[in-house]
Amino acid sequence: MPKTKEQKEKIVKDLSDIISSAKSVIIANHEGLTVNDAQLLRENCKEQNVQFVSVKKSLLKLAFASAGLKDVDTKAMEGSLAVAISKEDEVAPAKILKEFAKKHEQVVFNGGVLEGEMVSVEQIEKLAELPSKQELYAKIVGSIKAPVSGFVNVLRGNLSGLINVLNSIKETK
């Protein structure tokens, strides 16, 4: 059954609110995915706090315009469109979709929005290759921890040497 005008207006308003507060929005063609595959993709997105929404091109264009992005041409994009939206991590939607697309060729990037600016498919591909925030945090902690660990090991080495010398003196006497 077709959606009423009120339902469409609510979809546009909700989507516009989400897009305007999002750090990144990835637009992808998901035409040809089975229902089970689409559900799996939604679950993968949900695990990373990413929203995955299928939406008609006309409603998506209105939502982008309402969010202040007037240069989005959804009519030029091929296939059925969906958006992956993250309010927390700029890289997560691109990484999830790229990983999913490795096994499901039906998923194809069509463009996106990063921090309120339109980005191309090539830029999204590069974005998907970046490490996530959690990976970057782990690297920072490792970098901070490395000098301290090295210093502790040096001090431990001196103590171990002293203990070995004292033990050998004890054994000779």
Let me know whether 137 and 54 are in one domain: no
Let me know whether 98 and 48 are in one domain: yes
Let me know whether 120 and 164 are in one domain: no
CB-count burial class (<10 Å; 0-12, 13-18, 19+) for 165: exposed
What integer pLDDT is reported at residue 21 of this predicted model? 84
Let me know whether 126 and 136 are in one domain: no
Let me know whether 153 and 118 are in one domain: no
CA distance 29 to 140: 36
Is pLDDT of 17 > 70?
yes
CA distance 134 to 172: 55
What integer pLDDT is reported at residue 1 of this predicted model? 66
Sequence-distant (6+) residues with CB within 8 A of 133 are: 88, 89, 91
% pLDDT > 70, the chain: 99
Let me know whether 123 and 163 are in one domain: no
Structure tokens at 146: 């490395």
CA distance 36 to 39: 5
Q: What is the average pLDDT across 56-75?
A: 81
Are the C-beta atoms of residues 60 and 15 closer than 8 Å to each other? yes
Let me know whether 116 and 149 are in one domain: no
Q: What is the average pLDDT across 149-157?
A: 75
CA distance 117 to 57: 19
Looking at the DSSP bridge assignments, the partners of residue 83 are 27, 53
Is pLDDT of 41 > 80?
yes
Is pLDDT of 156 > 80?
no
Let me know whether 98 and 152 are in one domain: no
- The domain of 19 spans 5-130
CATH of the domain at 67: 3.30.70.1730
% pLDDT > 90, the chain: 1
**Domain's final residue, options 130, 150, 165:** 130
Most confident residue range from 40-44, 74-78, 136-140: 40-44
User: How many domains in the chain?
Assistant: 2
Q: What is the average pLDDT across 132-158?
A: 79
Mean pLDDT score across all residues of the chain: 84
- Looking at residue 83, the DSSP 8-state letter turns out to be E
